[in-house]
Amino acid sequence: MKTIFLRALEAEDKAATLIASIRNPEATLGRQRFEVKMASFGLLPRSPFAYWVSDNLRQLFQRLPPFEAEGRTVRQGLATADDFRFLREWWELKAAVPRLMEERWFPFAKGGASSPFYADLHLVVNWQRGGLEIQNNLNERGGVRSNVWMLRDTAAKFFFRPGLTYPARPHGSGWFSVVPRRCIFSHNGPMVFADGDSLPIWLAVLNARSFHHLVQLMMARGQGGSGQTLTYEVGMIACTPVPRLQKEDEIELRDLAQRAWSIKRSLDSCMETSHAFALPAVLQVAGDTLPARAITWSKLVSARDAEFSAIQSEIDERCFELYGIDLPDRRAIIEGFGADAEFPNAAVDGDPDCDSEVDEQENPEGSSDLPNLGGQLVSWVAGVAFGRYDVRLATATRSLPAEPEPFDPLPVCSPAMLTGDDGLPLMRSPAGYPVAFPDNGILVDDRGHALDLATAARLVFDEVFKPNGEVWWNQVGTLLDPRDHDLRTWLASSFFEYHLKRHSKSRRKAPILWQLSLPSGHYSIWLYAHRLTRDSFFQIQNDVVVPKLAHEERKLTSFIQSAGSIPSATERKEIAEQEAFVDELRSFLDEIKRVAPLWNPLLDDGVSLTMAPLWRLVQHKPWQKELKNKWSELAAGKYDWAHVAMHLWPERIVPKCATDRSLAIAHGLEDVFWGEGGDGIWSPRHTPTRPVDELVRERTSIAVKAALQGLTEASASNGSTAGTRRSSG
């Protein structure tokens, strides 16, 4: 005996739909009317109340093997319980040495937005000594905050293995993408594993409409579920049926998956924060003008999207055949019951997951509009000026590396970066390199200065677009700064905002080009984070700001002397503006002097904590507020695991290491305060191996303490930001 179900969820006129289902059963059967044996619900795991499912689809769960069989498995990964402490953006860290197993930071698959076949892993996790610092990060009750103790088997057997990941809680469909070797995965980004070299095959199958539909049937979802939040639980993926494959099926699916991955990765090659970044979009195509190149790039992207859609359709069709899904069921899977089918267009990435791991500005570099393409270009040019990116890739005097295999370990540096034969960043201009860059990572916004950023950027334009560097400089400046038509003005007033947005992901802000400015915006110093040392602010003080102030003071004296005893209105205005500028420079220099003695950058702490002592020197208001908050929290003891905290407040932190093993590990004091018993359990030592006061004394500097007191007592500058920005020279 069958039970009749009438469906009117998608109908605008539900009453009319119900009446039609009753009066015309044959016409509405399988669309609004369903006749189901109640016992058949038990054919699906969890017995979901999926009345719309055909008997053929239900029987797939009985006829075919589950995914977790024959050497295949699914695992949930790490929950750090303190992402701010244990996660970083990959570009945030200084690439000093290759990322090997015994090191600290490893690529981390955290879920986030769904992306089929390919998704760059922008996060890294602190897994030094097998995640020992995470393991010992305790809550107020003394329990381990993370789930790391439950992952002993997973960590030992599956961390660092290649696999496929997906967002555990997607919005729409949970796409599967490649995770290379030497990576760690999250509880929000579970992974599937398979024996041998079969992962590309399963990459194709798991991204097919048929597989997703079968997963969602177990949630009583699968038709017309647009906007619904799903949870792709590990157990559900494990028990979803997969087709039995012959050798020729495997060859075909492997080839399709490889092609799909390659296309998706190629579209990522213009993204500055991607491991695949090679060149900005407008330098990957030809054209005499920026609009012409924008059109060519847009056509190229459209062609690649179309090719990807064709591959996805081919995978879908092939998997329908392999599953033995007939035409009526295929139509129901693809079309759903209403206008909004649950499966998104294959050429478009899935929506951000509902776990709040998505970027605040989702993929801002992916747009093909002219301002974004112009911004991409200038951002790359600035990177070349600082020595981060290799200009020779744009002039074809150096070749891009070959495309890696999907499961190859992620590189330490993107292909765009200026590296040596060892694959690590170069700190000095190599012999014959056409664009010199500052070894100390310091440039300024100061027309006529030897370290002027705009001048350096213009030289890059000349090298890339010769003999038309000036033409391109002017057209990009007109595009980005319609009012002044001046790329120099855009670099000074808008570039940091652009850079900050494009270096912010997963609610983490990590700019690596820092702008320190006067409140008026009349003068800026730019710093490349990866080149900074303990001496950087002494260099800024003595080699940059002191000479600049002396120059402007002489200029002020000249104005006053030229005006005489009865200056004109124009002269009085000029003198007043110059006096205000000189006063700002003096205050700026005072702040540099406060910071210089205590400056000790270590980017392992993360950009925001490293930069926190500089908050008074930052004029970008949202970023200044963020840094000010971080500085207050540092002073209050919220981030005592950070190296900057130990550097500034050792008298507070060293004693804490005696009771907090995680802090002791972070600061290299574990063996001083903790010991391992015969049972393998670590406990505090009754007497540290070295006296606490001696440890504090070693880490305390009179100069640092004096500078810290001065910085704490200083008030923020109240200089006005009104008025038109002017260049000084």
pLDDT digits (tens, 9 = 90+) for 617-643: 999 999 999 999 999 999 999 999 999
**What average pLDDT does the segment 271-287 reach?**
97
Contact present, 333 and 325 (Cβ < 8 Å):
yes
Q: Which of 90-94, 364-368, 702-706 has the lowest mean pLDDT?
A: 364-368
Contact present, 690 and 698 (Cβ < 8 Å):
no
CA distance 670 to 683: 10
Q: How many angstroms from the chain centroid is the CA of residue 492?
A: 25
How deeply is 522 buried, as exposed, middle or buried, from its count of CB atoms within 10 A (0-12, 13-18, 19+)? buried
**What average pLDDT does the segment 374-395 reach?**
97
* Whether the predicted pLDDT of 719 surpasses 60: no
Question: Could you say which DSSP state residue 612 is in?
Answer: G
Task: Round the average pLDDT of the chain to a whole number and report it.
Answer: 88
Angle at which helix 327-335 crosses helix 209-217, to 10 degrees, equals: 80
E strand or H helix at 147, and its extent?
A: none
Instruction: For residue range 129-152, list pLDDT tens digits in order.
Output: 999 999 999 887 777 888 887 888
* Whether the predicted pLDDT of 355 surpasses 50: no
* Whether the predicted pLDDT of 63 surpasses 80: yes
Between the alpha carbon of residue 416 and those of residues 277, 298, 367, the distances in Å are 6, 21, 20
Q: Which of 179-193, 207-221, 478-492, 540-554 has the lowest mean pLDDT?
A: 207-221
State the DSSP string of 8-50.
-SS-SSHHHHHHHHHH-HHHHBTTTEEEE-GGGGGGSTT----
Instruction: For residue range 187-232, list pLDDT tens digits in order.
Output: 999 999 998 799 999 999 999 999 998 988 887 654 444 445 567 8
Q: Give me the pLDDT at residue 153, please.
A: 83
* Helix, strand and coil in the chain, % to nearest 5: 45, 10, 45
**What average pLDDT does the segment 513-528 reach?**
97
The residue among 348 and 444 whose pLDDT is bigger is 444
**What average pLDDT does the segment 528-539 reach?**
97
* Strand-pair partners of 676: 682
Highest mean pLDDT among 225-229, 231-235, 592-596: 592-596
Work out the percent of the chain whose per-residue pLDDT is above 90. Answer: 72
Signed CA dihedral, 26, 27, 30, 32: sign only: negative
Q: Give me the pLDDT at residue 534, please.
A: 97
**What average pLDDT does the segment 385-412 reach?**
95
Between the alpha carbon of residue 450 and those of residues 271, 298, 438, 455, the distances in Å are 30, 38, 10, 8
Side chain identity at residue 30, one-letter code = G
Strands 105-109, 184-185: pairing is parallel
Highest mean pLDDT among 35-44, 100-109, 561-570, 689-698: 689-698
Query: Is the peptide bond between 162 and the residue preceding it cis, with omega within 30 degrees of 0?
Result: no
Smallest CA-to-CA distance from 539 within 474, 451, 615 is with 451
Smallest CA-to-CA distance from 228 within 341, 62, 146, 148 is with 341
CA distance 92 to 550: 35
**What average pLDDT does the segment 440-461 reach?**
97
Q: Give me the pLDDT at residue 168, please.
A: 85
* Whether the predicted pLDDT of 48 surpasses 90: no
- pTM to 2 decimals? 0.89
The arrangement of strands across the sheet holding 442-445 comes to 442-445, 524-528, 513-517
The residue among 619 and 96 whose pLDDT is bigger is 619
Label residue 47 left, alpha or beta by phi (over 0 means left) and psi (-120 to 50 means alpha): left
Structure tokens at 331: 């139509």
**CA end-to-end span of the chain:** 91
Q: Give me the pLDDT at residue 560, please.
A: 95
**What average pLDDT does the segment 530-549 reach?**
98
Contact present, 515 and 524 (Cβ < 8 Å):
yes
